[in-house]
Structure formats: structure tokens, C-alpha cells
């Protein structure tokens, strides 16, 4: 079965994966991941870069000096731990605590002598912590404005329950992304903040795409007795599943190239701070839009009296008809809530036109049948 054929069968309901009905499983998986990352954040914290903590930065040609040689030189030159990393193929970077001009001169002389480079070839940068504080404050302000505008849009265009579900999924993605930096010990730099702010939009984009289909499928659901809200929402997730996966794969491929090839193989260390946030955030955003946001939305909606009444009517109707399985019954994967097809929805029907699936309005007699 090709991806195109799978997408057609998922859209029409011939194949259905029960994402909403198995929400407890997804909640447990997300809960375990969140416990791990939050525990790491509380116990280990984040490895903030020099831009946030302040300090001195020395960068010079490697020549015949290795990272280990530079570490030994720094152990005898300054008190406290120094971070020595390879930058590209021919550069070494050393970051230390904040040094006075006299101490910086001593470190420069020690590195020049021990690594066989001229002192003028060693680039020195002294960074104060106030610069990182300014960046953090601006990022926090941008995050607050972003969340306010997004919440307003979701409430106006959808409803407050969708806004709550989308924001919960967004916080889920942010915690996982930040927590991975703590687990792996990656340095948090301004590029990391850029990556984290970037994934906010992607995470919500994927969720809004699914919610828009949920809104379409559940239009008029309270006035019928064929499907519950959860069943209609689950069909929406299946109908957008292939699109979500394709979009995520296309987005992840170049980010993976930057992270694993650019930073890992070619040694472009400045790229990994941005690429890791994007990679983890995009993957978490795809997961949350399918396994967190929509199941949570369905759970919130099913608490409404109107949706409870629909569920009772659907259950009574199913008990009365007691259908038997035959060759035309849509395939269900995962168990849980009963499978529905696009023809069961109250507001749209599905017409197969070759390779495409198009919605059409139901006939008056069809709507009366419910």
C-alpha cells in the first residue's frame, strides 16, 4: 500500500487508527518523558553559555595543539573549570570565568607558548552577563505576546477548549525541547532561544491544521445520533495524519542534515545549538498534535452535556441496530471507540473521484435519516 493510497483510505475511513480512544496510553508516554526532562532540569539544570553567565572567550588556530593539550594549559593558567572545544577543523575555542585584563594577558601568553601560535592570532572576547539577561528578557516578552495573540486567535476562530488543548500541547513541546538540552548537557546559547521561539509556530501550525479538520467534522454533531464527538475528532486525525507526517519529514530532513552532518561531522559547532532545538521541537510538535492536543480536546468536549447526550444516542442506536462485521466494514487499527467513515459525518459526505477524495453536502433525505 503506497502513501497515496493509505492517505485516501485514512481520509475515507476505510483504515482508522484509534488515537483518541487510546489517549491514556499517549498521556502515560508523555508523562514519563516530562518527568524525565523536568527531573533533569531540577537536578542538573541547564548548561548556559558564556553569553548568559559572562566570561572570557579565547579562539585560536589549532596548529599542532589538541583539545586535550589546551585543557592542560588552562588547568595551570586559571582557577576554575575551563571549557575547551574544537571549532571546525583548525580552530580551538576556550571559555572561562570572567577574567581581568591582566589575567587575560597571562592566559593568552600561556596558550601562545603551549600551542605554538602568535599572541596576535588569539582572538579574545570578554562577555558580561547583562547581555544574556537582555536577550532573555526580550525572548520572554516575545513569548508572552505570542501566547496572548495565539490564545486570542484560537478562542475566536475555534473555541476556548481548543485553545486550552493547543496551549497544553505547546507547553508539552517546550518542556521536552528544553529538557533535552539538560539531559544531553548541550550549551544554551542565543541560538537556542531562536530555535525554541521558532518551534512555537511550527507546533501550533500542526495543531491548528488538525483542529481545523476537527471543526469541519464536528459541525452539527450535537444534532445527530450517528457519531460521537470523539469518533469525529479521531477521523479528523486520521484524515490529516499523512499530511502531518509528510510535512514533518520534509522539515526534519534539512534540520537533521544541519545537526548530524554540519555539527557532528563537519564540526560546525555553532549550528548545533539551533539545530537541536528545531529537531526536537518539530518532532515533539508532530507528536503532540496527534497524540496530545486532539485527545485532550475530545476529552474536554465529551464533558459537555450536549456531547454526553450524543454519546448516549449513538450507544442506543448501535445497540438497536447491532451491525455484524462483513467485508465492507472499515478496518480499525488499535481498538477503542467504534470506527466511523466520512459518510457518517453530519455535515459532509465523501465522493471518490479517481485519486482524490472530495467533500459534498448530504442530501436532504440522508440528513433526515441520521
Domains of the chain, first to last:
3-48+130-307 (1.20.1640.10), 55-127 (3.30.70.3400)
Write out the three cell numbers for 273.
545549538
Q: What is the pLDDT of residue 359?
A: 46
Per-residue CA distances from 120 to 57, 78, 116, 123 (Å): 15, 20, 12, 7
Written as tens digits, the pLDDT of the chain (370 aa) is 566 666 666 666 577 788 998 999 999 999 999 999 999 999 988 888 777 877 888 888 877 788 788 888 887 777 766 778 777 667 888 888 777 788 888 888 888 888 888 888 888 887 776 666 777 788 888 888 888 998 899 999 999 999 999 999 999 999 999 999 999 888 888 888 888 888 888 888 889 989 999 998 888 888 888 888 999 899 889 888 888 888 888 888 888 888 777 655 655 556 777 888 888 999 999 999 999 999 999 999 999 999 999 889 888 876 655 444 343 334 444 444 455 666 666 654 443 333 344 444 444 444 444 4
CB < 8 Å & 24+ apart, contacts of 263-269: 266/88, 267/86, 267/87, 267/88, 267/89, 268/88, 269/85, 269/86, 269/87, 269/88, 269/93
Q: What is the pLDDT of residue 28?
A: 95
Pick from 23, 368, 361, 18: nearest CA to 226 = 368
58 burial (CB, 10 Å; 0-12 / 13-18 / 19+) is buried
The sign of the dihedral angle between the CA atoms of 291, 295, 296, 297 is positive
DSSP class of residue 339?
Answer: P
Q: What distance in Å separates the CA atoms of residue 338 and residue 230, rounded to the nearest whole number?
A: 10
**Quick check: 13 and 238 in contact, CB under 8 A?**
yes
Residue in the block written with cell 527531573:
39
Residue 298: predicted pLDDT: 92
Is residue 206 within a helix (H) or strand (E), and if so which, with residue range? Answer: helix 190-217
Residue with cell 536577550: 135
C-beta separation of 303 from 164 below 8 A: no
Q: Name every residue whose Cβ is closer than 8 Å to that of residue 261 and which is 6 or more positions away in sequence.
A: none
Q: How far apart are CA 192 and CA 186, in angstroms?
A: 10
What pTM does this model have?
A: 0.75
Amino acid at each position: 500500500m503506497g502513501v497515496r493510497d493509505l492517505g485516501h483510505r485514512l481520509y475515507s475511513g476505510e483504515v482508522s487508527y484509534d488515537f483518541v480512544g487510546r489517549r491514556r496510553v499517549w498521556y502515560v508516554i508523555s508523562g514519563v518523558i516530562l518527568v524525565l526532562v523536568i527531573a533533569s532540569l531540577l537536578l542538573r539544570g541547564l548548561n548556559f553559555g558564556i553569553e548568559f553567565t559572562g566570561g572570557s572567550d579565547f579562539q585560536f588556530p589549532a596548529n599542532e595543539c589538541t583539545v586535550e593539550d589546551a585543557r592542560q594549559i588552562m588547568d595551570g593558567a586559571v582557577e576554575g573549570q575551563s571549557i575547551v572545544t574544537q571549532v571546525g577543523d583548525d580552530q580551538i575555542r576556550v571559555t572561562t570565568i570572567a577574567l581581568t585584563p591582566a589575567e587575560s594577558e597571562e592566559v593568552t601568553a600561556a596558550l601562545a607558548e603551549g600551542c605554538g601560535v602568535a599572541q596576535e592570532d588569539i582572538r579574545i572576547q570578554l562577555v558580561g552577563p547583562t547581555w544574556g539577561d537582555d536577550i532573555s528578557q526580550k525572548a520572554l516578552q516575545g513569548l508572552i505576546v505570542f501566547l496572548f495573540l495565539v490564545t486570542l486567535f484560537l478562542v475566536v476562530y475555534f473555541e476556548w477548549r481548543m485553545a486550552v488543548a493547543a496551549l497544553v500541547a505547546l507547553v508539552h513541546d517546550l518542556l521536552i525541547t528544553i529538557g533535552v538540552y539538560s539531559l544531553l548537557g548541550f550549551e544554551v546559547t542565543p541560538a537556542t532561544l531562536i530555535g525554541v521561539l521558532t518551534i512555537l509556530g511550527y507546533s501550533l501550525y500542526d495543531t491548528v491544521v488538525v483542529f481545523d479538520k476537527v471543526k469541519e467534522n464536528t459541525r452539527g454533531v450535537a444534532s445527530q445520533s450517528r457519531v460521537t464527538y470523539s469518533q469525529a475528532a479521531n477521523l479528523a486525525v486520521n484524515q490529516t495524519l499523512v499530511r502531518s507526517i509528510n510535512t514533518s519529514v520534509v522539515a526534519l530532513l534539512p534540520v537533521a542534515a544541519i545537526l548530524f552532518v554540519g555539527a557532528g561531522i563537519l564540526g560546525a559547532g555553532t549550528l548545533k545549538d539551533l539545530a537541536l532545538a528545531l529537531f526536537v521541537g518539530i518532532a515533539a510538535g508532530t507528536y503532540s498534535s496527534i497524540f496530545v492536543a486532539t485527545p485532550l480536546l475530545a476529552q474536554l468536549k465529551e464533558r459537555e452535556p450536549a456531547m454526553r447526550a450524543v454519546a448516549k444516542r449513538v450507544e442506543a442506536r448501535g445497540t438497536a441496530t447491532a451491525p455484524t462485521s462483513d467485508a465492507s466494514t472499515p478496518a480499525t487499527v488499535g481498538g477503542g471507540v467504534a470506527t466511523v467513515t466520512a459518510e457518517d459525518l453530519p455535515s459532509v459526505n465523501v465522493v471518490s473521484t479517481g485519486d482524490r477524495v472530495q467533500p459534498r453536502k448530504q442530501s436532504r433525505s440522508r440528513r433526515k435519516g441520521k
